[in-house]
């Protein structure tokens, strides 16, 4: 492990999922998705930026033709709680008519983000099928229910960082997922 990563790790309260556990589960998810989409082409829509590392590992492990589209969405705006407002492009920048779509996000929390994006894709892009995958699902009451087809891990309702997920831009390059130590938050 690099000195830089070791330094960042020391500001975590604890590691929740280590790199090996994440990689093993992501490979299992790839097998499930391959089975369900067998014989077809997969059109992936991934929400940025948190799902960046997850989607990179997942898609490189999927043995199917894939088209990748990204959508930048934000509801946290730098804090550790959802603002309840989902911000994204006015018009969705892709044509998904008749495609088999897999919508991917890092975390299912209140459900607002995925519910909003999913409804917009269904209404505006008219895909043939639409499934949803998340790496993490928090055990908590949802503000919006969302049907999710693939879940990597169920976790408690705590703020996590690492493996693509940030606190004010920090921590994304950690290979593991951890809980922040509130006494040692980085200066922004």
Among the listed ranges 25-33, 46-54, 95-103, 133-141, the one in contact with Mg ion (CB under 5 A) is 46-54
- Residue 110 binding partner per list ligand 5GP, Mg ion, none, with a CB distance cut-off of 5 to 8 Å that depends on partner kind: ligand 5GP
Distance spanning both ends of the chain, measured CA to CA: 25
User: Nearer Cβ to Mg ion, position 15 or 52?
Assistant: 52
Q: What is the DSSP letter of 155?
A: E
Among the listed ranges 30-38, 49-57, 117-125, 142-150, the one in contact with Mg ion (CB under 5 A) is 49-57
* Active-site entry in 109, 128, 149, 166: 109
CB of 152 to Mg ion, least distance (A): 15
Contact assessment for residue 103 and residue 120, using Cβ atoms and an 8 Å cutoff: no
Consecutive H or E run containing 94: none
Specify whether the backbone of 163 is left (phi greater than 0), alpha (psi in -120 to 50) or beta. left
Angle at 32 (CA atoms; ends 31, 36), nearest 5 degrees: 115
- Catalytic residue list contains 109: yes
- Measured CA distances, 154 to 5, 82, 108, 169 (Å): 25, 19, 9, 24
With contacts defined by CB under 5 A, how many residues of the chain interact with Mg ion? 1
Give the pair of three-digit tokens for residue 153: 């891990």
Give the pair of three-digit tokens for residue 40: 């077809």
Counting contacts by CB under 5 A, is residue 164 touching Mg ion? no
Counting contacts by CB under 5 A, is residue 50 touching Mg ion? yes
CB of 64 to Mg ion, least distance (A): 24
User: Nearer Cβ to ligand 5GP, position 101 or 160?
Assistant: 160
User: Nearer Cβ to ligand 5GP, position 85 or 126?
Assistant: 85
Active site residues: 109
> Applying CB under 5 A, which residues contact Mg ion?
50
């Amino acid at each position: 492990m690099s000195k830089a990563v070791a330094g960042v790790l020391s500001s975590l309260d604890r590691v929740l999922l280590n790199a090996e556990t994440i990689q093993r589960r992501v490979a299992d998810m790839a097998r499930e998705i391959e089975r369900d989409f067998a014989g077809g082409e997969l059109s992936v829509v991934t929400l940025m930026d948190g799902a960046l590392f997850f989607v990179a590992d997942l898609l490189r492990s999927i043995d199917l033709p894939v088209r990748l589209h990204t959508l930048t969405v934000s509801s946290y705006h730098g804090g550790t709680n959802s603002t309840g407002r989902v911000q994204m492009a006015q018009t969705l920048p892709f044509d998904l008519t008749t495609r088999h779509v897999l919508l991917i996000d890092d975390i299912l929390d209140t459900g607002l983000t995925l519910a909003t994006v999913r409804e917009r894709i269904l209404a505006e892009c008219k895909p043939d099928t639409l499934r949803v995958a998340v790496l993490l699902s928090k055990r908590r009451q949802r503000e919006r229910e969302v049907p999710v087809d693939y879940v990597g891990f169920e976790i408690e309702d705590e703020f996590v960082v690492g493996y693509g997920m940030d606190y004010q831009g920090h921590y994304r390059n950690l290979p593991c997922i951890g809980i922040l130590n509130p006494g040692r938050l980085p200066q922004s």
